[in-house]
Amino acid sequence: MIVTFPHMGDMSIALKELFTGLGRQVVLPPPISKRTLELGIKYSPETACLPFKINLGNFIEALEQGANTIVTCGGVGPCRLGYYAEIQQGILKNLGFNFDMIVVEPDIVDIIKQLHRVAFKRNFWEVYLAFRLALAKIHAMDSIQRKVNMIRPREVSVGESDFIWRQTVDVIDAAENLSTLRTAWHKGESELDEVKLKSGTRPLRIGVVGEIYVMLESSINQNLDWRLGNMGVEVYKTMYLSDYINGHLFRKREYLKKFKYLADLAQPYLGHYVGGHGIKSIAHTVNMGQEKYDGIIHVFPFTCMPEIVAKNILPKVSNDVDIPVLSLAFDEQSGEAGIVTRLEAFIDLLRYRRVKHHLA
């Protein structure tokens, strides 16, 4: 059994840790490239959403490199993600690949059952350790990334925080146990703390809401965080992998409480869960509007159903809580220049608003 799985941001680092910890050989899909995208587009239904196509591209490339077991996620709708696996399996079989697909449905009992299938001659304690280390890596990476997003618009020498971040991610990737991981994490954080910051700047604060895949996968969102940071914007992504895991998998009380709070905020605009993150996009926009952020960028894959519902409601929210919202749909045609132009225009607008408010 040679395991592979789809890419999403830095998730591969954690999953690689988990499956090797469970005693399996892992083949990472090659980093998402033009070829990944081309393969995905070629064999996917035309109007499937972008994550579907890229996942499929990942699978094809990993199977070519010798993987024979795909681990991917399921779901119960109404977002399409839950039915990806079934369709992708058919497409890959038609292409002549020979493989097993393990579909992990989003509940903790099923996850444990499926992990048991993957775990190779490992006892409960070892499974627990593998799981714990993988989770810790996710937390470490997310926490570093949050910090980098704060520092980027303020740093004196451009690119310093990114350099530290990339180095830290490599060390986190290599960490074999919790203590080396913690050392790497703290070292990264303290190095970031020492980055020289410009004094007296008050960067724009922009919240990023929307669909998790596009939000986390920088090869798809055209390096959104980095771009905004370099344009002098402090970026608050409303969702990281750790949030997803704590909220959806472990259903931690603080996350459920927060979700309840958010759902209440969204209630006047969107009265029911529509799958995916649609309701959160609305809720975070209300929330960040109340907290006087400068603007919201709403990202989602083209044809994403929950986010299209949100998109049609956001103009009203934007008007009511007085916060500008830019909706960006990403697909395989999304070009760098188009995105950059829209971001620049949006940021100009936000700067202008700030000056106007300041004078008023």
Which residues are at the interface with another protein (CB under 8 A)? Answer: 44-49, 52, 74, 76-80, 82-87, 89-91, 94, 103, 269-276, 278, 302-306, 308-309, 311-313, 315-317, 329
Taking the least distance from each CB to another protein, the nearer of 171 and 305 is 305
- Return phi, psi of residue 205, to 5°: -110, 120
The least distance separating another protein from the CB of residue 287, rounded to whole angstroms, comes to 18
Q: How far is the CB of 94 from another protein (least distance, A)?
A: 7
**Nearer Cβ to another protein (183/319):** 319
Q: Between 11 and 48, whose beta carbon lies closer to another protein?
A: 48
Closest distance of CB 258 from another protein, Å: 22
Best CA proximity match to 266, nearest among 274, 251, 308:
274
Strand partners, 25: 2
Q: How many angstroms separate the CA atoms of 240 and 243, rounded?
A: 5
Which DSSP state fits 199?
A: S
Find the shortest distance in angstroms from Cβ 70 to another protein: 14
Cα 286 to Cα 209: distance, rounded to the nearest angstrom: 11
Per-position DSSP letters for 96-117, written without gaps between them: T---EEEEE-SSHHHHHHHHHH
Provide, rounded to whole angstroms, the least separation between the CB of residue 213 and another protein: 15
- C-beta of 245: minimal distance to another protein in Å? 23
Shortest Å, Cβ 156 to another protein: 42
Asked if 68 contacts 1 with a C-beta cutoff of 8 angstroms, the reply is: yes
Q: Under DSSP, is residue 236 helix (H, G, I), strand (E, B) or coil? A: strand
Which lies closer to another protein via its Cβ, residue 151 or residue 274?
274
Residue 113 or residue 357: which is nearer to another protein going by CB?
113
Contact between residue 88 and residue 52 where contact means Cβ atoms under 8 Å apart = yes
d(CA 232, CA 74): 38
Which lies closer to another protein via its Cβ, residue 74 or residue 210? 74
Residue 2 or 308 having the CB closest to another protein: 308
Please classify residue 333 by burial: count the beta carbons closer than 10 Å to its beta carbon, then call 0-12 exposed, 13-18 middle and 19+ buried.
Answer: exposed
Give 79: exposed, middle or buried? Use CB within 10 Å, 0-12, 13-18, 19+. buried
Answer for the pair 88, 59: CB distance below 8 angstroms, yes or no.
yes
The distance of closest approach from Cβ of residue 316 to another protein in the complex, given in angstroms and rounded to an integer, is: 4
Cβ-based neighbour number of residue 251 at 10 Å: 12
Q: Which is closer to another protein, CB of 270 or CB of 350? A: 270
C-alpha to C-alpha distance for 255 and 244, rounded to whole angstroms: 9
